[in-house]
Amino acid sequence: MEHHRHPTPQEQEFPQLLVLRPPVVFTAFHHLFIAKFQVLKAYESPLPIDLFLTTYAQSVRAVLCAGSSPITANVLSHLPSLQVVVSASAGINHIDFPECRRRDISVANAGTIFSEDVADVAVVLLIDVLRKITGGDRFVRRRDWPSHGNYPLGSKTDLAGGRKSTVAVARSSQICCGRRRKRMRKATEYEGLMVAWQRRSRRRRRSRDATEEEATVAWRR
């Protein structure tokens, strides 16, 4: 038997917000969401998703989602009043854009909120790979030195022998460049590391820093 909780008179005055599965931000700030919205929690219902949407979500105008809850054409077909889909992450691959465009449904995402944190982690991981930091940590925790001898220390010469690069097109890649010029300058210059970023589309006018847009990461010989 379905035990869907009916909203209080005060909650009925709030705009409805559909949540198929709770993103991390929804769980962390649940009290803020319920103070502003009448939240329909599909994940708490025993009903199949199609039946839940048909029964309770016909007047929903907004959906909060993440990668774990794809907004497919089938989901959209059960939401005739939908006006906006909000992704709690920067990624939007889980949203059916053609169908949203066809129905004139707006789509929003987290934008650059996480970009600086991702850029920090990206630079740290590059140095980790170069210096084999986590590999050394596993070596010590497994007590491998009696049988394997000393752990081979990482070196920037490990990637020598030519220019090597990887391409990324996210906003975080651009911020990685700023990390080199600012807080991460000392670490990356010590390793001889040049951090650059690749735009999604070619700029109309090439700047003096155009070489930084042709590769994301390159190692100087």
Average pLDDT over residues 155-167: 48
Q: Is the pLDDT of residue 214 over 70?
A: no
Write the pLDDT tens digit of every residue in 62-80.
999 998 899 999 999 999 9
Share of the chain above pLDDT 70, in %: 64
Sign of CA dihedral 143, 149, 154, 160: negative
pLDDT above 80 for 102:
yes
| Residue 194: closest CA among 157, 213, 163, 219 | 219
Map tokens 């391409």 to a residue.
Answer: 167
25 vs 180, more confident: 25
Write b or e for each residue in 117-140: b if 16 or more Cβ atoms lie within 10 A of its Cβ, otherwise e. Answer: ebbbebbeebbbebbbeeeeeebe
pLDDT given at position 148? 83
- Least confident piece of the model among 26-35, 95-104, 163-172: 163-172
The reported pTM is 0.63
Domains and CATH numbers, the chain: 9-108 (3.40.50.720), 115-124+156-219 (no CATH)
Interval 4-24 mean pLDDT: 78
* pLDDT at residue 121 tops 70: yes
Least confident segment among 22-31, 65-74, 157-166: 157-166
Question: Max Cα separation, the chain?
Answer: 71
Q: So what's the pLDDT on residue 113?
A: 83
